[in-house]
Chain A
Amino acid sequence: MKAKPRIGIYGLTSCAGDQLVLVNCEDELLTILEAVDLRSFVMAHSDNPEGELDVAFVEGAVTQESDLETLKDVRSRAQILIAIGTCAVWGGIPYLSGMGTPLSDHVQVDYAIPGCPIEKTQLLKAIASLLRGDLPLSLPHPVCLECTIRENNCLLQAGEICCGPLTAGGCNARCPSLNRACFGCRGASHDPNYVSARQILEKHGFSVNEVRQRLALFSGKAYEKEGTQVG
């Protein structure tokens, strides 16, 4: 990538939590600002010249006409478009209420950093890879990999609604390591087997509704695609 990549950071309908993660990278922020040419970041400064971009980070789901306009405009100006946060990647909570759609429903998304909010380490690694001229690596594993490496006992096996096997890894199994079942906030893994998960949970005595509510909370789109077949 050229010496100083031109970067833009945008928010659609969202809580701005993912943009906040970047602002909170206190120790690294100066290094990043030296390495990139930050063109547009409404959250951090007021003077935002809009133009050609090398990389655009976009947060939030598309819930209204103005979101779609912004998204299309950003896409047309950006070489690489990266969805940040589970709302941008999967539609997140807005999708569940039938009000929001993920970016990939509307434009080409080159890379996704899921999470609610995103993990700082994954964001920094992604920025570093981009600076080197690579697309960041996608994390191939579900939460269970990190959970098992941390030698946690399995909460799903113990009869809790743990979304770990259905959920993209990268959080270092934050919740299961605190003995809390995974809520699936990082969105669907590469290969979520909702049908089996549902059968396991129904065997543990949960109702179809309880299971759906939990499994579809953050990645309803994936749940509908993979999970609606009769198991």
Chain B
Amino acid sequence: MRTVVLPGSNLEEFLARLAVGHELIVPQKSGASISFAAYDPSSEVVVEYQRTLLPPKKFFLPPEEALFDFAPGEGFRQKPTSSERRILFGLHPCDIHGLRRLDQVFLEGYVDTYYQAQRDRTLIIGLSCLPDEMCFCNSMGTDLVTDHFDLFLTDLGDNYLVEIGSTEGNDLILDNEDLFAETSDILLRKYKVFLATRSNLFEQKLDTSGLSNILALEWDSSHWEETAKDCLACGRCSMTCPTCYCFTIFDEVNLDGASGSRCRRWTSCLYKNYALVAGGHNFRPSRGARLRQRIMHKHKDSVERHGISACVGCGRCQAHCAAGINFCQVLTSLRGESSESIVG
């Protein structure tokens, strides 16, 4: 992979230039949290941050969107999607892996054209980070990226080491060549030191070996209902998760009682009526069954279906849970329980 160097002092200028001809999205302060939002010259771009409240999925699978309009006699009209080129700047490795997971769901097999249109128009510029006590991406193997980005910037103090991941990414460099320099041996050494230092900073750990097998065996564990006693079924863990993609579909009818739009909106498997079906049967009536669903889907079902866990270790679910549910701890105690039962 070709690498170049962006002196830190040139970043501002680089972003300002990218904003010409692209819709540019950058991490910014919003109240007390960090949020991906549209860049304008007065934006204060935050380059050192832990995690945005909502992950970048909101740009590909919007929280609520109209899919098509309908009207008697006119049939269906699909909502047009913007084709303006867009750049998402500042995605951490976990969030880039999160997008890969969404791609597997929305682009492989049955293609979701709405998602595809958003994905096709977007370039990704990644940015390195340091973990806090909730991050466990290195346990999930998502602490580094080798593809699925156009450029990736690693902060090495005064300079960013820039990995180029696509020809379009390369074009961004060529168009702004005056801002970049060639890589030096010293920087490559600094890069290796950065990686080593970073991997020592993780406090939160998750042992994933055999995890999906263990989960399959612990289906009936009393742990689920026990943990779910605390769960508020608020859905915040799903909304903030970069790989939770469930949505509900409904019609929004106009006052003529005939025309309207078909829409979708994010939902969560933690909600009671998520598994409610016609006839009034609910196949996950208890909070324990629903919490189990969320964890099983991430760490077992996805492994079985896609060969890879759907959890990218970003830590959002546990960082934002008002009930203090820590998903790593839940998984660790399940593992503990199973090893005890083998010994016993």
Q: Does A207 contact B (CB under 8 A)?
A: no
B229 & A152 in contact (Cβ 8 Å cutoff): no
**Quick check: is B22 within 8 A (CB to CB) of the other chain?**
no
A148 to B267 alpha-carbon distance, docked (Å): 12
Report the minimal beta-carbon distance from B133 to chain A, rounded to whole angstroms. 15
Number of interface residues, chain A, beta carbon within 8 A: 44
- Report chain A residues within 8 Å CB of B273: 138, 140, 190
Q: At the interface, is chain A mostly helix, strand, loop or mixed?
A: helix
Q: Is B12 an interface residue (CB 8 A)?
A: no
Q: How large is the interface on B (under 10, 10 to 19, 20 to 34, 35 or more residues)?
A: 35 or more
**Distance of B273 from chain A, by nearest CB (Å):** 5
User: By the criterion CB–CB under 8 Å, are A197 and B232 in contact?
Assistant: yes
- Chain A residues near B306: list those with CB within 8 A: none
- CB neighbours (8 Å) of B35 from chain A are 151
B235 at interface by CB-CB < 8 Å:
yes
**Which residues of B264-280 are within 8 A (CB) of A?**
266-268, 271-274
Chain B binding site: helix, strand, loop or mixed by DSSP? loop
Assess whether A128 is in contact with B254, with CB atoms less than 8 Å apart. yes
Give Cα distance in the complex from A148 to B265, angstroms.
13
Q: Is the CB of A152 within 8 A of B31?
A: yes
Query: With A1-B257, A153-B33 as given contacts, are A200 and B323 in contact (CB-CB < 8 Å)?
Result: yes
CB contact list, A51-67 vs B, under 8 A: none
Known: A145-B266, A191-B287. A151 touches B33 (CB 8 A): yes
Contact bitstring A118-137, B, C-beta under 8 A = 1, else 0: 00000011011111111001
Residues of A within 8 A of B31 (CB): 152-153, 179
Which A positions have Cβ atoms within 8 angstroms of B? 1, 28, 31-32, 35, 124-125, 127-134, 137-138, 140-142, 144-145, 148-149, 151-154, 156-157, 164-166, 179, 189-191, 193, 195-197, 199-200, 231
Which B positions have Cβ atoms within 8 angstroms of A? 30-33, 35, 53-54, 63-64, 229-236, 239-240, 248, 250-258, 260, 266-268, 271-274, 287, 320-324
